[in-house]
Chain A
Amino acid sequence: MLLEINPLVLPDPGLMIWSTLAFLILLFVLGKFAWKPIMKAISEREQGINDSLATAEKVRAEMAQLKSDNEILLVQAREERAQILKEAKEIKDKMINEAKEQAKEAAGKIMADTQQAIENQKMAALIDLKNQVGNMVVEVSEKILRRELSNKPEQENYIKQLTNEIKLN
């Protein structure tokens, strides 16, 4: 041979046949029973992950929507509460004022009545007093008239005594 070829770089046909056989078996078995289910599962899972992510995103948006809705509701509720409180305060004030008015009126009326009663009592007392004074005057006059002229100084004493006896109750 002109050029000595190292057996290392000379492909051995027997080994090539076996390599072909081995590779074909591997390609067939793995292609049918391994790659197919594996790739199917992987792509299904990837699809599933994508779907889940999309769903999560959707749910997140819904949550945000819900949250903002809640906030609006909360604000409305707060406003309503403030409104109700304000109204209640107004009603309370009104009621207190009314009650005060009524009380004042009632008190005024009672006062007036009382005054009236006092006036009446006073008038009655005065009339009674007048009557009693009149009676006493008549009585004293009668006694004086009975002891007439018996004793002049004694008479004067007696008048003094009677006068003292009169007590204007």
Chain B
Amino acid sequence: MVAVFSICICFYHNASFAQNADTNQVTEQHHNTDQKEEGDFDVAGTILDHIRDDHSWHLWGHTSVHLPVILKTDKGFEVFSSSRLSDEHHQPVVYNGNYPYKQIDGKIKVMNADGSINAEASKKVFDISITKNVVSMFITVFLLIFVFLGVAKAYKKAGVTSAPKGFQSFIEPIILFIRDEVAIPYLGERHVRFLPYLLTIFFFIWINNLLGLVPFFPGGANVSGNIAFTLTLALFTFVIVNINGKKDYWRHIFWMPGLSTGMKIFLMPIELLGVFIKPISLTIRLFANMTAGHILVLSLISLVFIFKAVSASAMAVPFTVFISVIELLVGFIQAFIFAMLSALYIGMAIEEHHEQDLVL
């Protein structure tokens, strides 16, 4: 995964070579804010534009869904359509609400009268817009609720004696997989309490990963490759771990038993750091893996425009398909790893140690 990501970074750095590329088609398809001039193809800008959160959802050609912008400033809440922020050529324009707003690299900034960014005022703007990622996330939420309430109904209706049927028989092995491979090995007897959380987080990440792989509506949003999303989920695990942490868990952080006093003091900051590194590692792992996948797929497709030749697709398309298939696997594995590590961290926090086991 790291290798994949670094390859993408290479693409990002090499992208400047490709900026002279000239394709009219591309200009129509990609409405970059930082296009050098008409006809230039900016690979890095295009890719970053695709994996970034957005205030509108591009469907096809010139058709986009403009999502509502919700801003909280010191003058109160403000709601307007994101269509006000761009003109008919998809170029950002200034919208005069409570402040003059303009979209710079996908973020809403307050502008000065002379057209420069008012950094101080921009900091006071709190953007809680319904963005592309938010919509995609709620599509996942409704999809999951729809599917699992249906499955739950099937269980209620068919009773417990009959074998699972239809979609139920597809879902049940996955549920059992999470229970038997994730929850029980790390949580043991107490898995019943945390299993709903693990199942929810697994399916939420997995379906978001899968929807992210679909190149068109309602997929295509890079939700699970967004650091805010992964950080939120990692914080959930962090809170659950530390709320359920038993006496032994805290003692192992602050006063490691079975060691000399000097070592105890030495280990204390390291262990304390570990408490925060765990959710950070969860955040970055999922974010980097999913973003890397998106960047890789987009880079391969961009090869066609970099080489300015349709024949390049002979190589680019099979590679894209290959990487997409791998990404299907990665999407599952990353969801599984997130759930597994969450279970592991919770298991470590709720474990009751026996003193003699730790004295070496």
Chain A, residue nearest B163 (CB): A45
- On whether A45 and B161 interact (CB within 8 A), knowing A14-B126, A27-B200, the answer reads yes
Q: A14-B70, A14-B126, A38-B148 are in contact. List 8 more A-B contacts (CB 8 A).
A: A18-B128, A18-B130, A23-B204, A26-B144, A26-B200, A27-B200, A37-B155, A39-B179
Evaluate contact between A8 and B51: CB separation under 8 angstroms.
yes
B93 at interface, CB cutoff 8 A: no
- On whether A41 and B155 interact (CB within 8 A), knowing A15-B53, A18-B128, A30-B196, the answer reads yes
Q: In the assembled complex, how far is the CB of residue A167 from the closest CB belonging to chain B, in whole angstroms?
A: 119
Evaluate contact between A23 and B228: CB separation under 8 angstroms.
no
B residues 65-118 near A (Cβ < 8 Å) are 70, 105-107
Chain A residues near B253 (CB, 8 Å)? none
What string of 1s and 0s marks CB contacts (under 8 Å) between B124-141 and chain A?
001111110110011011
B21 at interface, CB cutoff 8 A: no
B232 at interface, CB cutoff 8 A: yes
Chain B residues near A20 (CB, 8 Å)? 232
Selected A-B contacts with CB under 8 Å, 25 pairs: A7-B105, A7-B106, A7-B107, A8-B51, A8-B52, A15-B229, A18-B130, A18-B131, A22-B138, A26-B204, A27-B196, A27-B197, A30-B144, A30-B145, A30-B199, A31-B196, A31-B197, A34-B151, A37-B152, A38-B151, A39-B192, A42-B176, A45-B160, A45-B161, A48-B161
Evaluate contact between A12 and B228: CB separation under 8 angstroms.
yes
Top 8 A-B residue pairs of the complex, sorted by shortest distance between their CB atoms: A34-B148, A41-B155, A19-B232, A15-B228, A11-B228, A14-B128, A44-B160, A31-B196
What string of 1s and 0s marks CB contacts (under 8 Å) between B203-235 and chain A?
110000000000000000000001111011100
Query: CA A19 – CA B235 in complex, angstroms?
Result: 11
Evaluate contact between B227 and A8: CB separation under 8 angstroms.
yes
Q: In the assembled complex, how far is the CB of residue B343 from the closest CB belonging to chain A, in whole angstroms?
A: 15
Evaluate contact between B145 and A15: CB separation under 8 angstroms.
no
Evaluate contact between B176 and A17: CB separation under 8 angstroms.
no
A3 at interface, CB cutoff 8 A: no
Evaluate contact between A15 and B131: CB separation under 8 angstroms.
yes
Evaluate contact between A16 and B231: CB separation under 8 angstroms.
yes
Q: Give the size category of A's interface with B.
A: 20 to 34
Evaluate contact between A11 and B227: CB separation under 8 angstroms.
yes
Evaluate contact between A35 and B196: CB separation under 8 angstroms.
yes
A29 at interface, CB cutoff 8 A: yes
Chain A residues near B53 (CB, 8 Å)? 12, 15
Evaluate contact between B129 and A14: CB separation under 8 angstroms.
yes
Evaluate contact between A48 and B105: CB separation under 8 angstroms.
no
Chain B residues in the interface with A (C-beta under 8 A): 48, 51-53, 70, 105-107, 126-131, 133-134, 137-138, 140-141, 144-145, 148-149, 151-152, 155-156, 159-161, 172, 175-176, 179, 192, 195-197, 199-201, 203-204, 226-229, 231-233, 236, 287, 291
Evaluate contact between A23 and B200: CB separation under 8 angstroms.
yes
Evaluate contact between A22 and B137: CB separation under 8 angstroms.
yes
Chain A residues near B126 (CB, 8 Å)? 13-14
Query: CA A27 – CA B219 in complex, angstroms?
Result: 22
Chain B, residue nearest A20 (CB): B232
Chain A, residue nearest B226 (CB): A15
Q: In the assembled complex, how far is the CB of residue B54 from the closest CB belonging to chain A, in whole angstroms?
A: 11
Q: In the assembled complex, how far is the CB of residue B178 from the closest CB belonging to chain A, in whole angstroms?
A: 10
A149 at interface, CB cutoff 8 A: no
Evaluate contact between B145 and A19: CB separation under 8 angstroms.
no
A168 at interface, CB cutoff 8 A: no
Evaluate contact between B197 and A10: CB separation under 8 angstroms.
no
Evaluate contact between A37 and B134: CB separation under 8 angstroms.
no
Query: CA A146 – CA B145 in complex, angstroms?
Result: 164
Q: In the assembled complex, how far is the CB of residue B177 from the closest CB belonging to chain A, in whole angstroms?
A: 12
Chain A residues near B130 (CB, 8 Å)? 18
Evaluate contact between B236 and A34: CB separation under 8 angstroms.
no
Query: CA A12 – CA B232 in complex, angstroms?
Result: 10
Chain A residues near B148 (CB, 8 Å)? 30, 33-35, 38
